[in-house]
Structure 1
């Protein structure tokens, strides 16, 4: 703790007054906060009480503090200047605003992972470092020496990346498009944000899957949208449910993740795909198709996106590099009618003048390089191996307490806990034992579901992590 310098020529009381004033200016003692009593502060600093009395008198004379009998000494809410100044009530601002904070479970996950480096992580929905093409990207960045102008680029995204995506989407996703119909974003989440802010209005009704990653995004509520759920069974959503929601609530848009859906891992059935496209074309409804996981298909044959058979332009397709290469590149894309792309690009320019040109050029190089196919093969192999380790551990530790269906792609295993359990108690007990996961209620499901992500944790952490989870579950149940 700070102590006054007895060797200094400056009087002790003045040093104390200056130190308190500095700490007040730094916000350590906000306006209205209680300061230590003269006696307690004198004891802490090792000075006579009369010295503190002089320091407080100096601060009172400056209007920095005020003392009242029975109330102690507090930082003044007003300073003595030509015009009294109010300190903003930052708490009120933080609690206000139209953009809602993350749901409590997600904030808690972030907090725990930042503080506990040894925590086994089944919660983070991203790839581990050894699954990212780090060496390949390093090589591409070392070979390429940028001589281009590093200024603002087209808010729609740099032309070389959009042109590369035309070829990439045709080859890997069967989507026919043009560079003018592609918008580059910082990832799927920004694509969703632009759609909710620019194409929809407060009070509009939209349909999302149940459970759904979208449910975990407060941006939908922040935009004032009314959310209606489409239950996901083992074949995906039921097209008739969309028709019913349209009749009852006049939904204006449908948000789907048909391939290895997050969080359930479900693959939308082929017959339902055809029926779904017929329903939305009949109703004139747009679909937002989020497709982050298709290229992780463990058999090496990625399921086709809905967009690949969209003959009437009713689907906005979004994808990114986050789940197949590196989330830190912050590169995603949207394929939409040109008028939609122009509208959203204009909004992007208002927000940030467009993405950094450097990661866009790195992404373009990677997507057209000979590295991408070997990388995807390696990624699938590792994800399948880790999925099987997770399933083996669950079957060993909790054979009668959980049920699940093994996904054929993606990063997640969706589990139902058979006995009734309190999500919050299980979550906190698991953290106490050194493992963290995403409770199903984050995605809108009832209590008693768990999403285990096996892409982030190391292979040698999976069995110990599930053992810790099993111990936490048995502790809660007992």
Structure 2
């Protein structure tokens, strides 16, 4: 019997949809036929039921299938030219467009987490619910009744929040800025999207770290950019590598995450940061610093950011509340020269007329009244507890299986699997056992590495999750 080919780049659900459409077109299932239930077909093909659900949904969008409660899933009379002639070819539309879909691994992980709420989540780069300041936000709303107008606000962002950020960033990270040089965004990814769309052109060459979170973002490819990698060692990139890359490819921009880098957790030392800034200035190349994790430094001493060391205005600085306070508030910021901010603000206004002023208003009070300071201290303490529980699990359960880097900040472990394992098979075996993670190949790394989040799972889930991961690794070697 036919089985999906997991080595292909085509998503499993799409392979199943194509396979079923082929059987229908050759009359194996004539119009009016009842198809196998989603569960039955999933068992036959040895895939998750959610994958078959997605395949059937694809065929429904094409007008090939129709489903109704109590009747199951039936083949329409599209072969006779009735239904199909009235239904757009949604598959053609979905496969078109300039904005590429997420990587198959990312879609698979999100699908599993959406369908199975009891999954132990080592994949998400997000805080667990108990680390969000929910009670503080409720108190702020009671203490300060919202009195701002509910119309469109300044597309550059709520002015009081921008003023508050100027003081906060100068005090905590020694970043000097002005209200007019800050754009409030819905998070780091919107900041990156605006930079890619407004400051670069299709065909431009950009440099990213290897491995890099940027590699997992299809919006880089959607923008038509040529990506060139700067390999990482335990101290981040070697700035001298940039010179050769620039000479060969005329690099137009560099995207870096120098402090507690995602996914490796490495911190670039001061001498490399200064050398990088010197080289970038000599070559006239802007640096985009995605600074998500600096404030999580577990020892309470955040390493210097590139922006704080930048004397020539070369660095575009991207920050966010998502990883240190609340992803649900959707608050990020971008610091850049005023001419750049003006250009991005204009584009942003075309997209959505600016953020809602309600979350911006909450964020302003949250930061201004010192709640973010207390949140960061609380977060550091709790993350260290979870990190150390992971270390205990590594030593007791996976001592012979994984080699890991000890994170001194951030939310994740970067681990190398000591024996050869297929990424696809490991994901399958792990999800069967109720645990999920991100393979290193998502970030452009060679196979055999995985990223494990210690921020998302509950403390009591960590050791059971690592035990299931150990069983998955064992199953992959059989």
Q: TM-score of the superposition, structure 2-length normalised?
A: 0.84
Secondary structure at 1:446 match in 2: coil
The CA deviation at 1:291 is 0.5
1:31–1:75: 8 Å Cα contact kept in structure 2? no
Q: 1:75 aligned to 69, 76, 82, which one?
A: 82
2:62–2:88: 8 Å Cα contact kept in structure 1? no
2:203 maps to what in 1?
203
1:389 maps to what in 2?
389
Secondary structure at 1:393 match in 2: helix
The CA deviation at 1:273 is 0.9
Query: Residues 66 and 377 from structure 1, CA distance in 2 versus in 1: closer, same or farther, beyond 3 angstroms?
Result: closer
Query: Residues 29 and 148 from structure 1, CA distance in 2 versus in 1: closer, same or farther, beyond 3 angstroms?
Result: closer
2:263 maps to what in 1?
263
CA distance in 1 between partners of 2:335 and 2:156 (Å): 11
Deviations 1:384-410 (A, max 9, x none): 110111111011112122111101000
1:371-410 equivalent positions in 2, closer than 5 A: 371-410=371-410
CA distance in 2 between partners of 1:300 and 1:437 (Å): 28
1:212 maps to what in 2?
212
Query: Residues 273 and 29 from structure 1, CA distance in 2 versus in 1: closer, same or farther, beyond 3 angstroms?
Result: closer
2:238 maps to what in 1?
238
CA distance in 2 between partners of 1:455 and 1:350 (Å): 35
CA distance in 2 between partners of 1:396 and 1:34 (Å): 51
CA distance in 1 between partners of 2:355 and 2:192 (Å): 16
CA distance in 1 between partners of 2:156 and 2:62 (Å): 46
Query: Residues 406 and 28 from structure 1, CA distance in 2 versus in 1: closer, same or farther, beyond 3 angstroms?
Result: closer
1:338 maps to what in 2?
338
CA distance in 2 between partners of 1:228 and 1:209 (Å): 8
1:315 maps to what in 2?
315
1:477 maps to what in 2?
477
1:103-122 equivalent positions in 2, closer than 5 A: 103-122=103-122
CA distance in 1 between partners of 2:290 and 2:282 (Å): 22
CA distance in 2 between partners of 1:30 and 1:401 (Å): 44
2:288 maps to what in 1?
288
2:59–2:65: 8 Å Cα contact kept in structure 1? no
1:175 maps to what in 2?
175
CA distance in 2 between partners of 1:313 and 1:464 (Å): 48
CA distance in 1 between partners of 2:84 and 2:135 (Å): 56
The CA deviation at 1:184 is 0.4
CA distance in 2 between partners of 1:29 and 1:423 (Å): 31
Give me the CA root mean square deviation: 2.1
1:30–1:75: 8 Å Cα contact kept in structure 2? no
Secondary structure at 2:467 match in 1: helix
CA distance in 2 between partners of 1:289 and 1:361 (Å): 26
1:120–1:457: 8 Å Cα contact kept in structure 2? yes
Structure 2: gaps spanning 5 or more residues: 1-57
Query: Residues 93 and 393 from structure 1, CA distance in 2 versus in 1: closer, same or farther, beyond 3 angstroms?
Result: same
2:139 maps to what in 1?
139
1:100–1:219: 8 Å Cα contact kept in structure 2? yes
1:57 maps to what in 2?
none
1:450 maps to what in 2?
450
The CA deviation at 1:243 is 0.8
Structure 1: gaps spanning 5 or more residues: 1-26, 37-43, 45-64, 79-85
CA distance in 2 between partners of 1:32 and 1:293 (Å): 47
1:22 maps to what in 2?
none
CA distance in 1 between partners of 2:141 and 2:302 (Å): 29
Query: Residues 77 and 275 from structure 1, CA distance in 2 versus in 1: closer, same or farther, beyond 3 angstroms?
Result: closer
2:123 maps to what in 1?
123
Query: Residue 92 in 1 paired to residue 92 in 2?
Result: yes
1:467 maps to what in 2?
467
2:61–2:90: 8 Å Cα contact kept in structure 1? no
1:140–1:366: 8 Å Cα contact kept in structure 2? yes
CA distance in 2 between partners of 1:181 and 1:477 (Å): 54
2:44 maps to what in 1?
none
1:427–1:436: 8 Å Cα contact kept in structure 2? yes
Larger radius of gyration: 1
CA distance in 2 between partners of 1:363 and 1:112 (Å): 32
